[in-house]
A and B are shown apart, each in its own frame.
Chain A
């Protein structure tokens, strides 16, 4: 187990270098001068453009630029925006909000989705089953911004960024995955209900709660955990649409506006962080398998 984790962590290094290089190249390789439209209908003063190009090493070749950027990154310097704000401050402002929003969404989809899945999986073709099927079908077919605009119309935009404030946007963000989780859980439960180990548990005379909660659910939950894990990774990357609709100043919107403004330093910094988060999330999910199913071993 320890060696497995170490190996996975070592794999992060080439992935990290590769992604940062690709992102850095892509952002700066956009064939438009980032200072061309910055001063409106007037061109920016040449002295300003020259100073900015020098500050961001734009006159070096791309590889030298990248190495210089990486060098600063290793000393913990994420660089600055054109406006002179530290990228690390931008990330520190936005990331807690995005994490809170992602956690709210995850709790919503896990709790509501799995509950609905267990209930419907146990009583297939009943009233609740049909109701959940129709409801999830509706959620899946609605684009997120439609759900977002409807709920914003009812509840308004959040007044702060606490967990409580983020419940409504969290529901919107989690709604689609919630539907998937419900359906995944339902299928998995329905399949395992007829499995030998469940029949044995019932034959042993165990109470229903224990049969469902420990024997059935634990064995049915592996595909759901995979889904939730990768979904959390995706949610951590920010939700441009949901953040935009509710004006939550998170990571998604930050990346979006900075791609538009060609602020490569911000985009690279944030996206690098997101790549790391995503890789760590998938590692955690893989390790969770072993906890859920002792037959799975990593060596």
Chain B
């Protein structure tokens, strides 16, 4: 079985090597590729100017990730961080980090990437009046509150963070407010990318023709149509691309993009339209050119503590045990998900499958707990109804009311914005859909933003001083394995309180056209463009 699989795989590889004129070096070194073809990938209109500090959504991130290279990159298969632009990141106490960067790297305008480009960029993004969307990612650095006061009307007392120090052309030092062991993983996030000197003179003009240090350089952006990039031949990183031109083609309709993918007018999509998922139709449509990703995310139901009657542990346990996750995934969600058995994604270091004891379907126990809870009245789940959420949430409600005999209603919200303002203004009247996708691959990113008292995405308004203390302790543990153990202890406490009911993890399915012979889909639900190989015929 294994041998047959391997033989099948080796055939296209052999063809690709022949096509590349037997370059010899394989795919590893950027100089070995001599392909000058063009590739197009599915894109949505970026919502913000194309700068890393101000980009938070998928449409912009796709371009940013090719235009820029950060200190740390993530392996597309395992999501493990590796040093990309960083030469070394060292710390003895997880509080003061000494970062050395590789020499000889250039921005697309020919200037050298120096330590100062990182420090200046970070200071710019963090500075309050610059109003950058990723400012909060720097809140752990010493001096952040001086440049970014909580009160938007207050004037910052400093222009630069005291925790950032340039030690030389290729070395700088970062001092945090408190120890944070996941910092070396976190700085692979786009907001931490360096900026060339030309950016600071005219940020608005720069965003119209961005200059990065990544594998591809900017050619043009036509609003609402496409973004064109081309290979940067001076790129030093291991994720160089093996084709020349990249066209990020903007589509407003997923089905249209899919039909273009089938006809070869579009080369890559990181998600499939719902119609193609039914009965795994996409697998036959694409003749094996479909991709699975290990997306790092979790979908859950938050049970806000402020809703009268819901601050009831037995009720939360009963609800979780009453949801038939397997059947809903099979019948409503086209098998695009796997049932969640923990509070993390299955693809993360430190995840223990089954660590959530109540994340299973057990009608008997559910009924017993529900009787014990003494809850009377009606359960509700609120969510925006687009994107297939209505169907999924209704199915959950049906499962709950069938098992517990309690009425359960789906409360539709007109838009995602309306739905989120319901949560941030603490006006929910029942459970709310609460999904989470990782900013960077670490279990820390599944705990601190969601379960810590007062944190940004704590939709349940959950607060447990013991959890807070454990998380702080884990953050300050320099030893990676030791930190993971502490995070897992925090997860145990969270499991006992069950402020959020884990539902499922999305698998992530994508596909590529026959013009490509190889492609990968990363954990971010994004094309790993460096894995693209053009098929021999094109």
Query: Which residues of the other chain, A, contact B57 by a CB distance below 8 angstroms?
Result: 38-40
Least CB distance from B35 to A in Å reads 22
Query: Which residues of the other chain, A, contact B158 by a CB distance below 8 angstroms?
Result: none
**Is A47 within 8 A of B56, CB to CB?**
no
Q: Which of B148, B252, B424, B437 contacts A256 (CB 8 A)?
A: B252
Least CB distance from B435 to A in Å reads 7
Q: Does A153 contact B (CB under 8 A)?
A: yes
Least CB separation from B54: chain A residue: A48
Q: Does A221 contact B (CB under 8 A)?
A: no
Report whether over half of chain A's contact residues are helix, strand or loop; otherwise say mixed: loop
Flag the segment in A68-76, A87-95, A228-236 that touches B.
Answer: A87-95
Query: Which residues of the other chain, B, contact A52 by a CB distance below 8 angstroms?
Result: 131
Q: How far does the alpha carbon of A33 sit from the alpha carbon of B459 in the complex, in Å?
A: 18
Whether A47 touches B223, Cβ cut-off 8 Å, given contacts A42-B456, A152-B256, is no
- How many A residues are at the interface, by size bracket? 35 or more
Least CB separation from A152: chain B residue: B259
Q: Does A200 contact B (CB under 8 A)?
A: no
**Is B263 within 8 A of A156, CB to CB?**
yes
Q: Does A50 contact B (CB under 8 A)?
A: yes
Least CB separation from B133: chain A residue: A48
Q: Does A34 contact B (CB under 8 A)?
A: yes
**Is B417 within 8 A of A247, CB to CB?**
no
Query: Which residues of the other chain, B, contact A45 by a CB distance below 8 angstroms?
Result: 131-133, 135-136
Least CB separation from A84: chain B residue: B49
**Is A83 within 8 A of B256, CB to CB?**
no
Q: Does A82 contact B (CB under 8 A)?
A: yes
Query: Which residues of the other chain, A, contact B239 by a CB distance below 8 angstroms?
Result: none
Would you give the 0/1 interface string for A41-56, flagging 1 where the beta carbon is closer than 8 Å to chain B? 1111111111110000
248-279 of chain A: CB within 8 A of chain B: 249, 253-254, 256-257, 260-262
Q: Does A64 contact B (CB under 8 A)?
A: no
Q: How far does the alpha carbon of A89 sit from the alpha carbon of B221 in the complex, in Å?
A: 11
**Is B152 within 8 A of A50, CB to CB?**
yes
**Is A93 within 8 A of B222, CB to CB?**
yes
Q: Does A289 contact B (CB under 8 A)?
A: no
- How many B residues are at the interface, by size bracket? 35 or more
**Is B251 within 8 A of A247, CB to CB?**
yes
**Is A157 within 8 A of B260, CB to CB?**
yes
Whether A253 touches B456, Cβ cut-off 8 Å, given contacts A45-B136, A156-B263, A247-B260, is no
Q: Does B464 contact A (CB under 8 A)?
A: no
- Chain B CB within 10 Å — which of A49, A51, A84 has the most? A84
83-101 of chain B: CB within 8 A of chain A: none
Query: Which residues of the other chain, B, contact A93 by a CB distance below 8 angstroms?
Result: 222-225
- Chain A CB within 10 Å — which of B150, B225, B434 has the most? B225
Whether A42 touches B415, Cβ cut-off 8 Å, given contacts A47-B135, A48-B133, A84-B204, is no
Least CB separation from B131: chain A residue: A51
**Is A83 within 8 A of B133, CB to CB?**
no
14-37 of chain B: CB within 8 A of chain A: none
Q: How far does the alpha carbon of A261 sit from the alpha carbon of B457 in the complex, in Å?
A: 22
Q: Does A85 contact B (CB under 8 A)?
A: yes
Q: Does B253 contact A (CB under 8 A)?
A: yes
Whether A33 touches B135, Cβ cut-off 8 Å, given contacts A152-B256, A247-B260, is no
434-453 of chain B: CB within 8 A of chain A: 434-437, 449
Q: Does A146 contact B (CB under 8 A)?
A: no
**Is A157 within 8 A of B259, CB to CB?**
yes
Q: How far does the alpha carbon of A82 sit from the alpha carbon of B207 in the complex, in Å?
A: 13
**Is A33 within 8 A of B204, CB to CB?**
no
Least CB distance from A240 to B in Å reads 9
Least CB separation from B417: chain A residue: A37
Q: Which of A36, A85, A243 contacts B417 (CB 8 A)?
A: A36
**Is B223 within 8 A of A89, CB to CB?**
yes
Whether A153 touches B259, Cβ cut-off 8 Å, given contacts A47-B128, A83-B46, A83-B47, is yes
Q: Which of B129, B132, B418, B459 contacts A36 (CB 8 A)?
A: B418
Q: Does B355 contact A (CB under 8 A)?
A: no
Using A38-B47, A47-B131 as known contacts, list a sample of 20 further A-B pairs with CB atoms less than 8 Å apart, ordered by residue number in A.
A32-B415, A36-B418, A37-B418, A37-B420, A39-B57, A39-B133, A41-B436, A41-B459, A42-B136, A44-B133, A46-B150, A47-B128, A47-B152, A82-B47, A156-B259, A157-B256, A243-B252, A244-B253, A249-B225, A261-B47
> Closest 10 A-B residue pairs measured CB to CB?
A51-B131, A37-B417, A36-B421, A37-B416, A50-B152, A36-B417, A37-B420, A85-B223, A84-B49, A32-B418
Residues of B bordering A, CB below 8 Å: 45-49, 56-57, 128-129, 131-133, 135-136, 148, 150, 152-153, 204, 207, 222-225, 250-253, 256-257, 259-260, 263, 265, 414-421, 424, 434-437, 449, 456-457, 459
- Could you show 30 A-B contacts with beta carbons less than 8 Å apart? A32-B414, A32-B415, A32-B421, A34-B417, A36-B418, A37-B415, A38-B57, A39-B57, A40-B57, A41-B434, A42-B449, A42-B457, A46-B150, A50-B153, A83-B49, A83-B223, A84-B48, A84-B204, A89-B223, A156-B265, A157-B256, A157-B259, A157-B260, A246-B256, A247-B257, A249-B224, A253-B252, A256-B252, A257-B252, A262-B417
Residues of A bordering B, CB below 8 Å: 32-52, 81-85, 89-90, 93-94, 152-153, 156-157, 159, 243-247, 249, 253-254, 256-257, 260-262
